[in-house]
Structure 1
Amino acid sequence: MIDTTNRLRTLPPAFASELAEAAWNHGYRRSGGQADGWLYFASDINVPGEIGLAVADGGAAWFLTVSHPGVAAELDAPAAMPVPNGMRAAFGFAEQRALRDALHRAYVLATTLPTLPLHEFEAAVAGLSDTETDRITRVRIGQDHFRRALLRYWEGRCPLTGITEPALLRASHIVPWAECTTDAERLDVHNGLLLAAHWDAAFDAGLVTFDDDGAALFSPLLGDAARVALGVPPSLTLVDEHRAKLSWHRTRFGFETPQ
């Protein structure tokens, strides 16, 4: 835990300019003012949450604070205390580059975590009726929004293979679209994985799944040639919301006995 007490009293103009540039370059382009050594910013488009940036010790320590609860929970960075009033978490970095990387990830998370993709979907289908044609259109629009959200969340890369070609990537629902009970569940990025096409096919068929640590589990029904082709993937980086959905998937395909 990094202690910022008495370290953020003033913000030299040169550093203020650098922080403002970092915020601007990573999507936070509306100034929210300055307080207690922090510079605050928000997005100038429909991206929820506010961020604050600070620097201490002549540039030897850099800080980011966020108000979005999902970003606060998922951002993988060293925690800093105390957290400014009205914010949910703060993080500290030894280098400006690390701060900028975290700022990029914070923006990505803010654009993909519930409930922004749902709100964008609802706006896109607001004029549709309940005819069969419009129901099909609604599903297509929803799946397009879900894919775009997963591409952002996983940074356009299959976490198992490293493949980045969009044509070879699939937005894999964990609980299938038709079996979700709400649009919020259908559009939730935690109910999906961005997988290369062969991994998506195996996952959708229940031939592979993942444990709570993100390690791949293979069905005995998977043939030897397919097993070799899939290889030995790295473990997925998961949050609790992923784990809950993957527990459903393992139960659905007989990888574990329901409790």
Structure 2
Amino acid sequence: MNILKRALIEKTGHENGFENILSSHDDGVLLGSALHGIQALIAEDNYRWIVDIHSEVSKYLYSELTRCFPNATRPDRKFVLLQINDLAIFLRRASKLAQSLPNQLAVDYDKQVTEELTHFADAETKATEIERIVRQRIGQQKFRDGMLQYWGGACAVTGVDVTEVLRASHAKPWAECKSDTERLDVFNGFLLCAHLDALFDRFLISFDDKGQMLISPKLSQNQRDILGLNDDLCLRWIADRHLLYLDYHRAKFFDLQGG
């Protein structure tokens, strides 16, 4: 790989979530970032870009990338991108996923909570309502940030990408989660438009294991029409990790319908 190709990789990485050049030589360029824990080793072979992702961040990263880029996946777990623009899209998505998938969100959350609580000198104060409020505020913001990254800034159902009207909806409610790991798990919910979020939060809609929307019989046909609800609505995709939380949400959904 000549110096011009290495420079092109370095520039593409810097612009798409991999600002650190860990090494650069004829065999390839190793990229990283201070924002997440994954590294990308990029080589060139016959005018194709070969990407090998190394991650200690999340065991879910590879499966999510194969879902996003099925035609780029090789049996050796490397990815092949044909154009430099394809490489840019791949790196940008990998960076977003690395910052949103389980573990990284929890690490960032713990760090920020610790920093904010240091402003309270009284150790007893930290164990009171103040700490609970701080943890919930930071946690909910981290969850929303993670959801925006995971779903590409668009509603999980409609694809609407107006962030001002998007809400991070928990399938297993915040107060009912047993740990911060559950609360911050991006698979514990969906990024939804405000009206869908309100319906999901009140168990007036849910989703089956294939992502098809379930609509409460409590909503009249007129209400469904006004809200734009129909039997064709479904999640843009659904991962296996969603199913456990969906099962929890669906049980409450059916319980509230009396069925």
Kindly indicate whether residue 38 of structure 2 is the aligned counterpart of residue 49 of structure 1: yes
Following TM superposition, by how much is the alpha carbon of 1:161 offset from its aligned partner in structure 2, in angstroms? 2.2
- Pick aligned residue for 2:153 from 151, 156, 170: 156
Tell me the equivalent position of 2:102: 114
Unaligned runs of 5+ in 1: 1-10, 83-88
* CA offsets 1:14-55 (integer angstroms, 9 cap, x no match): 221111111111121222225783321110x24111111122
What is the CA distance between 1:185 and its match in structure 2?
0.7
- 2:90 equivalent in structure 1: 102
TM-score by length of 2: 0.84
2-structure distance, mates of 1:56, 1:238:
33
Q: What corresponds to 1:85 in structure 2?
A: none
How do residues 36-185 of structure 1 correspond to structure 2 at under 5 angstroms? 37-43=27-33, 45-57=34-46, 59=47, 61-68=48-55, 69-75=59-65, 76-77=68-69, 78-82=72-76, 89-126=77-114, 127=117, 129-185=126-182
* Letter of the 2:63 counterpart: A
Partner deviation per Cα, 1:118-168 (whole Å, 9 max, x = no partner): 111112222271212331232122111111111122122113223223331
Q: Which of 212, 227, 230 is residue 228 of structure 2 equivalent to? A: 230
Preserved contact between residue 205 and residue 253 of structure 2 (Cα < 8 Å): no
One-letter identity of the residue aligned with 2:90:
A
For residues 136 and 30 of structure 1, what CA distance do their matches in structure 2 show?
36
Distance in 1 of aligned mates of 2:105 and 2:40:
20
Distance 1:243 1:53 in 2: 34
**2:21·2:30 contact (CA, 8 Å) conserved in 1?**
yes
In structure 2, how many angstroms separate the alpha carbons of the residues matched to 1:26 and 1:159? 23
Which whole-Å CA distance do the structure 1 matches of 2:188 and 2:203 have between them? 15
Per-residue deviation at 1:99? 1.8
Shift of 1:244: 1.8
Quote the residue 1:188 is aligned against.
Answer: 185
Deviation at 1:252, TM superposition (A): 2.1
Gaps of 5+ in 2: 121-125
Does the aligned pair in 1 maintain the 2:44–2:50 contact within 8 Å? yes
Letter of the structure 1 residue corresponding to residue 17 of structure 2 = G
- Residues 2 and 26 in structure 2, CA contact (< 8 A), matched pair in contact too: no
Deviation at 1:187, TM superposition (A): 0.8
3-state SS, counterpart of residue 189 of structure 1 = coil
Partner Cα distance (1:242, 1:160) in 2: 14
CA distance in 2, matches of 1:236, 1:217: 15
Q: How far has the Cα of 1:96 moved from its partner?
A: 2.1
What residue in structure 1 maps to residue 206 of structure 2? Answer: 209
TM-score (norm 1): 0.84
How do 1:234-245 and structure 2 match up within 5 A?
Answer: 234-245=234-245
> Displacement of 1:95 after TM fit?
2.2
Q: Secondary structure at the match of 2:86?
A: helix
Whether the 8 Å CA contact 1:70–1:109 is kept in 2: the answer is no
AA aligned opposite 2:60: G
In structure 1, what is the Cα distance between the partners aligned to 2:112 and 2:4?
Answer: 43
Moved more, 167-176 or 69-78: 69-78
CA distance in 1, matches of 2:131, 2:235: 40
Deviation at 1:111, TM superposition (A): 0.8
Is the CA contact (8 Å cut-off) linking 1:63 and 1:99 kept in structure 2?
no
Q: Structure 1: how far apart are the matches of 2:174 and 2:144?
A: 12
Contact 2:168 2:191 in 1 (8 A): yes
Partners in 1 of 2:209 and 2:26 — Cα distance?
41
**After the TM superposition, which of the residue ranges 215-224 and 15-24 deviates more from structure 2?**
215-224
The question of 1:220 aligning with 2:212 is answered: no
- The one-letter amino acid paired with 1:72 is Y
8 Å contact from structure 1 (residues 63, 90) kept in 2: yes
Cα deviation digits, residues 148-196 of structure 1 (max 9, x gap): 1111221221132232233311110110000100001101111121100
